[in-house]
Amino acid sequence: MGKKLLLEHINVPGIQSLEVYRKMGGYASVEKAIKTMSPDEIVEEVKKSGLRGRGGAGFPTGMKWSFLAKPVGVPRYLVCNADESEPGTFKDRYLMEKIPHALIEGMITSSFALGANTSYIYIRGEYFYVSRILERAIEEAYAAGWLGKNILGSGYDLDLYVQVGGGAYICGEETALLESLEGKRGNPRIKPPFPAVKGLYDCPTVVNNVETIAAVVPIVNHGGDEYAKIGIGKSTGTKLISAGGNINKPGVYEIELGVSVEEFIFSDEYCGGIPDGRKLKACVPGGSSVPILPADLLLKTSTGESRLMSYESLSEGGFATGSMLGSGGFIVYDERACIVRSTWNYSRFYHHESCGQCSPCREGTSWMEKILHRLEYGHGRSEDIDLLWDIQRKIEGNTICPLGDAAAWPVAAAIRHFRHEFEYHAKFPDKVKDTKHTPPPMPARVAVG
């Protein structure tokens, strides 16, 4: 079993409570940080750790922290992105529900490092019951003196609040999140300026994912260098993977980055293989926005190397033959899955979630959904495939925020790797009129150029 930095104590009875959490060593990082370290020293440790944003983008956290502007007399904010809405991803919900103090502790230590005296956890509205769990944990922390005025007699004050959203995937984008936190529609802002300079209420702000902030705790406790010893290459530490789809043991797994994808899917230690003796067909390894891969390119790179669960290995080959670690929303498809139906499903998602600001996204996601719908329901034409390719290509890179790219990439990847299924739908509409139609088999692999 790999090292567990976040979920080590998750099964200890009562770990939701401050009393048990403290007994298991909780809040040690707050003591260490506030009593023995300067904010800059903490930022240094996070830099040394190599921790990368665990929400999906994988941006180096220490670098993001170091960008925070520090004008005198202007408040700074730390905002936790608990908007978890990337299809396939449920690891933040698991962490917040089962071990809420892990996030609270991380928020306190991180807020201290960043010089924030008021911090917010922005949580998606659908997780309302989880927001109650977090609020109870925060009350416990205030009562025990970990929050509020003059924490540990240091003179450092911190208030922490939970902010509930209203149902919008786009609010997982950091600037749309800030707009929502300010009480507005979730329309992303043009960057620059970045939140580090002008964020919440125009003040310097850092927005970090739940898991990223929770990871600060072991980094401060053991040091950045120790954290960096785990993992592989530039993928240091552990990552929470939410595994779902057609597997025997769906759930959240904390893995050391670098485990092989094959082991992750088939070993009993993790997903336990595909049920009912079915075959692995495809996988979206990092949340719906990352390219879908057919089984052969999932398990091995195009150069024949074993594919590993890491940022570098999953991206090997770029989008031509690779994908991304992303949010770790690991969706496994068995041989029954129709890729055209899957692509239509995602296209409906992105169309629904588009905020509407940018024409390529607002119009393009609508067109892609319509075209994929008619292909899937037996009214498609062979020209539709090139039309889809053209539309996604014209959305990508032409929008204020990455939702446009996220809508384009699944369509591009599905056509790139499963074009034969789209052609089948266009050529044999009667064969696909039943919504449970069997997809055609994969053709023999042509040499990838």
Partner 1 sequence: MSNQTVKFSEEAIAECHKIIKRYPAGKHKSSLLPILHIAQAENEGWLSSATMDKVAEIIGITPVEVYEVASFYSMYNLKPVGKCVLEVCRTVPCWLNGAEELVSYLEKKLNIKVGETTKDGMFTIKTVECLGSCGTAPMLQCGANYHENLTNEKTDALLEKLKAENSRKSYTDII
Contact 50, 226 (CB under 8 A): no
Contact call for residue 201 and partner 1 (CB under 8 A): yes
With respect to partner 1, which residue has the nearer C-beta, 31 or 159? 159
Contact call for residue 209 and partner 1 (CB under 8 A): no
Least distance to partner 1, CB of residue 266, Å: 18
Q: At what angle do helices 383-395 and 403-427 cross, to 10 degrees?
A: 180
Contact call for residue 180 and partner 1 (CB under 8 A): yes
With respect to partner 1, which residue has the nearer C-beta, 245 or 364? 245
Pick from 55, 56, 165, 285 the residue near partner 1 by CB under 8 A. Answer: 165
Q: Which stretch binds partner 1 (CB under 8 A): 309-317, 336-344, 371-379, 385-393?
A: 336-344
Least distance to partner 1, CB of residue 245, Å: 5
Count of other CB atoms within 10 angstroms of residue 123: 24
Contact 10, 98 (CB under 8 A): yes
What's the 3-state SS for the chain? Answer: CCCCCCCCCCCCCCCCCHHHHHHCCCCHHHHHHHHHCCHHHHHHHHHHHCCECCCCCCCEHHHHHHCCCCCCCCCCEEEEEECCCCCCCCHHHHHHHHCHHHHHHHHHHHHHHHCCCEEEEEECHHHHHHHHHHHHHHHHHHHCCCCECCHHHCCCCEEEEEEECCCCHHHHCHHHHHHHHCCCCCCCCCCCCCCCCCCHHHCCEEEEEHHHHHHHHHHHHHCHHHHHHCEECCEECEEEEEEEECCCCCEEEEEECCCEHHHHHHCCCCCCCCHHHCCEEEEEECECCCCCEEHHHHHECCCCCECECCHHHHHCCHHHHCCCCCCCEEEEEECCCCHHHHHHHHHHHHHHHCCCCCHHHHHHHHHHHHHHHHHHCCCCCCHHHHHHHHHHHHHCCCCCCCHHHHHHHHHHHHHHHHHHHHHHHHHCHHHHCCCCCCCCCCCCCCCCC
Contact call for residue 333 and partner 1 (CB under 8 A): yes
Binding flags for partner 1, 124-163, as an x/- string (CB under 8 A):
xxxxxx--x--------------------------x-x-x
Number of residues that bind partner 1 (CB under 8 A): 58
Contact call for residue 168 and partner 1 (CB under 8 A): yes
Contact call for residue 418 and partner 1 (CB under 8 A): no
Least distance to partner 1, CB of residue 125, Å: 5
Pick from 100, 172, 186, 439 the residue near partner 1 by CB under 8 A. Answer: 186
Specify which residues 332 forms β-bridges with: 245, 283
Q: At what angle do helices 339-353 and 359-376 cross, to 10 degrees?
A: 150
With respect to partner 1, which residue has the nearer C-beta, 252 or 407? 252
Least distance to partner 1, CB of residue 3, Å: 22
With respect to partner 1, which residue has the nearer C-beta, 108 or 252? 252
Q: Which residue bears the tokens 């600037």?
A: 175
Within residues 29-88, the interface with partner 1 by CB under 8 A covers 75, 84-88
Contact call for residue 164 and partner 1 (CB under 8 A): yes
Least distance to partner 1, CB of residue 244, Å: 3
Least distance to partner 1, CB of residue 240, Å: 12
Pick from 90, 112, 146, 409 the residue near partner 1 by CB under 8 A. Answer: 90
Contact call for residue 298 and partner 1 (CB under 8 A): no
Contact call for residue 293 and partner 1 (CB under 8 A): no
Contact call for residue 289 and partner 1 (CB under 8 A): no
With respect to partner 1, which residue has the nearer C-beta, 185 or 300? 185
Contact call for residue 115 and partner 1 (CB under 8 A): no
Contact call for residue 392 and partner 1 (CB under 8 A): no
Contact call for residue 93 and partner 1 (CB under 8 A): yes
Within residues 213-242, the interface with partner 1 by CB under 8 A covers 242
- Which residues sit at the interface with partner 1, rule CB under 8 A? 75, 84-90, 92-93, 118, 124-129, 132, 159, 161, 163-169, 180-186, 201, 242-246, 250-252, 284, 288, 329, 331, 333, 337, 341-342, 345-346, 349, 352-353, 355, 435
